[in-house]
Each structure stands twice: as C-alpha cells, then as structure tokens.
A and B are shown apart, each in its own frame.
Chain A
Amino acid sequence: MEKTEYMNPYLAGVLLGLLLVATIYITGRGLGASGAIKSYAVTAVETIAPSHTGATKFYQEYGKEHEGSSPLMNWLVFEVTGVLIGAFLSGLISNRLDFKLEKGPHTTTRIRIAGALIGGILWGIGSQLGRGCTSGAALSGMAVMSTGGIITMFAIFAGAYMFAYFFRKFWI
C-alpha cells in the first residue's frame, strides 16, 4: 500500500499551537520531552546504584526538586508515554509502521548508528544545560515569551547551521 502524504506543515503548526495553548490553559505549563528522558535516566541510576545517587550532588538536587515521589510520577513521563501512543496510532493510520534504520544516501549503517548515539548524548547534555529541548525550552518558551526559552531556541538553530556543513555527508 502507498504511504499517505504528510499533513500540510502550516496546518500541523496551527494544530500544534492550539494544543500548546490548551495545555498552558489547563495545566499552566507547556509541552516537553527531554524531562521524561531525564526522569528515566535518574530512575535507572537510582535502581542500579542507590548508594551512588545518595552521594552525588545532581541526584540530591533532583530529589529535592521532586520530593516525595518517584521520578516516574512526573507530568512529562505521562505526556511522553502519550506521544509514543499517539505517534504509533498516527503511523498505523498512515501506513508508516516499519522497523527501519534510516540514513542518508551516501553514508554507512555504522556511521548512522554512531551518529544517532552521539547525537543523542549531545542532546542529553545540551538539554540539561538549556533546561529543556526543542519542545520544553524552545517551543513552550516561545509561547510564554520566556527570555531563556527564546535564547535557547536561537542557539539550537544557530548551532545546527554552524555545524551543518561538517556533517553534510551524513545526509546529502
């Protein structure tokens, strides 16, 4: 079966914007993604090495901010679980479900795997410094016109354009 086309980007943008407004109206906060990854990372380390997390400053500060509950009882963890479900359903409807490693036309699988891993690591570090990623800092920050969020947004795009040339072989 033929894959269906993607939605018009401006329409998708309007829908996403309206969803974000509704989210802020209902919950007083925006959308996010990296926060959930952080919750899972903290839980994993806590489970593997509980004595270590008790003695390390980062986990102590995290524990203080999220007192009294498991890191997984977190708004973003639920939201990202929803993202998984929503994206899966959307892929199902539009016939895009497929196990596949996607890469540029002139690159090898090995390079793609390394790129994805290193890219992920960079996002893990960067989203902590930026206090959010494209959704939590840039998009939600723009919605409430947060200075920090908008600076992070421009820094992400500036960084990507700055380095794009050096990694062009990955993609084109």
Chain B
Amino acid sequence: MGPLVPDVISNNLNFIVALVIGVLFGAILEQAGFSTSKKLVGLFYGYDFTVLRVFFTAGIVAMIGVMGLEHYGLIDINLVYVNPTFLWSAIVGGIIMGLGFVVGGFCPGTSVCAAAIGKIDAMIFIGGALIGVVIFAEGYPVFEPLYKAANWGSPRFFETLGMSQNIFAFIIVVFGLFAFWFASIVENRVNKVAKSPIRLTPYYVGIASIGIIMAASAFIFPERKASLMKEVEDTNFVQSYKLETMTPDEFAYRLMDEQDDKFQIIDFRPEKEYTKMSMPKSTLFTLDNMFEKEPNKILTLKHKINVFVADDELTERKMAIIATELGDKRIKILQGGLNAFKEQILNFKPIENPKTLDEEYANRFRTKAKEIIPVLIKNNKSAGAVKKVQKRVVGGC
C-alpha cells in the first residue's frame, strides 16, 4: 500500500527519486512551453491559454488518479500530505503571487525551467524570489499574525463544503472542460483566427475516452472496502467460509504461557469494553484499522499468529474474512467468541463426578485457568487502541 516512502523506499533513496521526478517534471514543463514568460502570461491577456490547459488537465488527472488509488485501496490517504489551510494567508499570499505573475512573467517552477535553457529574465526572477524569502524572514514579526490566522487544519475541499468527494470531482471536471472551451473562444477572438473551439480529433476523443473508461471502471469495480463489507453481510457465506479456529482451552493455555511470543490477540470489541477487560498480548482493533497502512503492520508481523476475538463468533468470522481477503496470513478465530471463553473458562463450573480421563483433565486445567487468567487480565496494563501513527510526509513549499 502506498505511499512507498519510508517503508519500501528509504528516506535516502527518496532523494534520488526526487531527482528523477524532477527531471521528468522539468522536461514536461519545458516541452509544454513553460520556459518562456511570453507564453505564460498569455493566459492573462487572452492570447495564449497553454498554461490553463496544461495546469487544469494535470490537476484533474492527478485528482482523479489519487481518487482511483484510494478507491482501489492502493494508498492510505491519511499518510499523504494535504496542504494545511490558513484562510487569510492563503488568499493574501495568492493575490501577491498573482501580482508577481503579471509583473515578473513566471512562477517559481517555470522560472527554474526557463533559467535552465538560458533565459536571463528567469535567472533574475529566481534572484528576486530568494530576496523575497529573506524579506519574509526578516519581516516575519509583521507577517506572522496573518500567516497563522484562521488555522483550519488540513481539510479537503469537499469536506469543507460538506459534499461527497465524487460530486466535487465531477464539478471540477465540468468546470475544467468549460474553462477549456471558453479559453479557446477568447483565444480565437484575441488572435483573430477562426478555429472551432471544440474539435473532435482522434487525439482528444482518445484522451476523453480514457477518462470515461476510468470513471466507468469505478462503478464496475466498487470500492474495496464497500465490496468486502457487502460480502460479509451474507451470513451463509460467512458461516461457510473456511477459517482456522482455536478452542477456548488452547486460547487459555497460550494466554497463560509467558514463553509464547507468537500468540497475539486482535480484539475487535468496542473500546469501552476493551478498557474494562483487556487480555495480555492483545491489541484493540477496528474494522477501519484493517484498511489503514500503519495499524495494519501489526497483522503482518512475521511468525505471529493473529487470533481475532470479539464477543460472538460471527463478528470474529466477518473480520477474519476481510483480513484474509486483504491478504493477511496466519489469522485464526476464537471458537464461540469471547462469550464461549467466558462461559467455559472464566466462569467454569467443574464437571461433577468426571467419568472420563478427558473430563478430569479439563476440570483440572480449567480450574487452574480460572484462577490465573483474571489475575493476568487485572495486571495487564491496557495497551489501548492500536497506535495510529500519522507519519504524514512533510511537504509543500
């Protein structure tokens, strides 16, 4: 599951990745014509809308791409850097940058691009930007109240507006297409040429159909989480699914065995109940945790046997099926759930007049377990919920 940094790709290798990504970034910008200020500012005078087209196309593709990764469970969005929102700072900063755009003819990324191919004005622009940062740094006491005002955290726009992500994305796409159409009309008028603003060349039809296929695929292949949730709604399916089980006796034995470090309990009860009674070697887990990158690590620890527990076996089965479908290995469930465990072990009433040897052993073992386990539970300092370490990457500028 993404992001690949820092688990798959180390932080040092990440610098090399940055360099490679930068090379591609620079090459695309340069090929698109972002290395000349005349083309860049054309957007604001109506003679060349290249920037608008490239920028909005890229934004839309990236936005939908990230949604796709999320949809198919390929990335944990909680770990992705979302630019923080400081309302006034964002607006004032943006307007200053806009002014800088029409005065200077570049933005920082494009100026680097232009400087690379020898544009002297771009080099001067970069020098100016360095001075600008120093001015900000020296004048920080003046800027600080504005810089830190109206801190909204890191919300995403559809959350701020209170609408669904899909509808928001749809609005942005429609807005983008409208902007492309409108830009072409303005461009024609300013440059006094007559080109149809909508041209159905194979090229554009191709790009549009890729978009439509992607959108359609999202309907055909439902979101991973939603589809798994739906599968486990079917009780017959859940009951007949093959899962490894563990008897309450074995569970009790391994719970008492201090040497046994392979045994690990994944507890799916509500947090309230968990804090009231938590077993040693156990971690509180939720359904959502299974779809998150960090908490999920505990399930993939090598050699550990994960015993899923809940009050009833049906819940255990559901969770275990989801985990198995997500690719987790060595998952077992406690037979009969914790209810059975409580009845057979914690509230054990010895079998009177044991007839067979088995019954006698059971009597002996369960009586002992009944004494020891409550003490273990009492002494166990609740490990609490699985740690949701939000190691968000520090990004932005």
Contacts and interface: CB of A to CB of B under 8 A. Distances in A.
Contacts of A44: 130, 134
Contact of B30 (A76, A87, A131): A87
- Candidate in A27, A83, A161 with the most chain B CB atoms within 10 angstroms: A83
Nearest to B5: A27
Contact of B118 (A42, A98, A137, A172): A98
Interface string A91-121: 1001011111111100000001101111111
B197 interface: no
A109 B143 CA distance: 33
Nearest to A150: B157
Interface in A1-46: 6-35, 37-38, 40-42, 44-45
A129 B81 CA distance: 18
A128 interface: yes
- Candidate in A87, A135, A140, A142 with the most chain B CB atoms within 10 angstroms: A87
Contacts of B202: none
B21 A37 contact: no
- Candidate in A30, A76, A134 with the most chain B CB atoms within 10 angstroms: A134
Interface string B98-123: 11111111111111111111111110
B397 A115 contact: no
B372 interface: no
Contact of B147 (A25, A96, A129, A143): A129
Given A14-B61, A58-B140, A84-B112, A145 B102 contact: no
Contacts of B106: 116, 119-120, 123
Interface residues of B, number: 138
Interface in A59-75: 59, 65, 73, 75
A104 B144 CA distance: 37
A143 B53 CA distance: 16
B124 A12 contact: no
A159 B156 contact: no
Given A28-B393, A159-B101, A160-B102, A117 B128 contact: yes
A147 B393 contact: no
Contacts of B165: 145
- Candidate in A80, A100, A145 with the most chain B CB atoms within 10 angstroms: A145
A92 B32 CA distance: 14
B326 to A, nearest CB: 19
Contacts of B25: 16, 19, 31, 79, 82-83, 86
Contact of B94 (A40, A45, A73, A159): A159
Nearest to A44: B130
Interface string B58-77: 11111101100100001101
A163 B45 CA distance: 11
A46 to B, nearest CB: 11
Contacts of A132: 83, 396-397
A19 B62 CA distance: 8
Contact of B50 (A9, A86, A90, A125): A9
Given A21-B66, A83-B23, A155 B14 contact: no
B54 interface: yes
Contacts of B74: 25
A164 B117 contact: no
Contact of A86 (B22, B36, B45): B22
Given A12-B32, A42-B137, A119-B105, A145 B132 contact: no
B17 interface: yes
B396 A75 contact: no
A40 B98 contact: no
B212 interface: no
A108 to B, nearest CB: 13
B21 A79 contact: yes
Interface in B348-397: 392-397
B152 to A, nearest CB: 7
A145 B158 CA distance: 7
8 contacts: A19-B21, A22-B21, A28-B395, A31-B109, A32-B109, A116-B106, A121-B131, A121-B132
Complex A-B, nearest 9 residue pairs according to Cβ-Cβ distance, in ascending order: A119-B104, A124-B132, A82-B22, A120-B128, A159-B98, A155-B94, A13-B57, A17-B61, A86-B26
Given A119-B105, A152-B93, A154-B94, 18 more contacts: A16-B57, A16-B58, A17-B59, A18-B61, A25-B74, A28-B393, A29-B394, A75-B18, A102-B121, A117-B128, A123-B125, A130-B94, A135-B108, A147-B160, A156-B101, A156-B107, A160-B99, A164-B44
